[in-house]
Amino acid sequence: MDPTHSAIGFKVKHMMFTNISGQFKEYEATITTNGDSFENATIDFSADVNSVDNNNAERDGHLKSADFFDADNNPKLIFKSTSFKKVDDHNYDLAGNLSVKGIEKAVRFPVEFSGLMTDPWGNTKVGLNIYGKINRKYCGLSWNSALETGGVLVGEEVKMVIELELAKQ
C-alpha cells in the first residue's frame, strides 16, 4: 500500500446535522490476490488507534479514551476479510470481521475498483475505494450526550471513506 496516496477516513454526524471527518494516520494493509482480477483476494488491515486525527486535539484525546476506542487497552482497529467477490468490472463486495475495542463484528462494504495502471517508474498500481457504513454502537463505541433541543451529540452511523493505492509486489 502506498501511504502517500491512500487514506483511511471516517465521518460521523455531530449534533445531528453536520459531519465531522477524521482519519487514521498510521495503518497497515496487506492484499493478496492471484492475477489481476482481485476476485477472492484476501485483505488484512489494522490501524493504530492512537493515530486518530480529526483536526482537534481535545476531540482526538476523547476518541482515544475509554469513552470511545480505549486506546490504552485496545491499541488497534483490525479488519480481516472473509470474502471479496466481483460484482462487475468496477465493483466488488467485501465481507469480513472488524474488531474495534476488542469487539469483533461481521461487516460488508462495497468496493470500487479503479483499475490497474503503470506509473512513470514502471510500477504496477491499483486503486480501490471503499465507502461503507457501520453502527458505532455495535463496536462498543456507545458514549454520547443528549442535547437540550433533542437528539444526541454524536451520531450512531459512521461512514467509512477508504481510498487505497496499492503497488504490485
pLDDT tens-digit map of 97-142: 999 998 999 999 999 998 888 989 998 888 899 988 988 777 777 7
Per-residue pLDDT 10s for the chain (169 aa) are 787 888 889 888 777 888 888 999 999 888 888 877 788 889 999 999 999 999 999 999 999 999 889 999 999 999 999 999 999 989 999 999 999 998 999 999 999 998 888 989 998 888 899 988 988 777 777 777 888 888 877 778 788 899 988 888 7
- Residues 6+ positions from 157 with CB-CB distance below 8 Å: 12, 13, 133, 134, 135, 136
- Measured between alpha carbons, how far is residue 68 from residues 34, 63, 104, 136, 148 in Å? 38, 5, 15, 9, 22
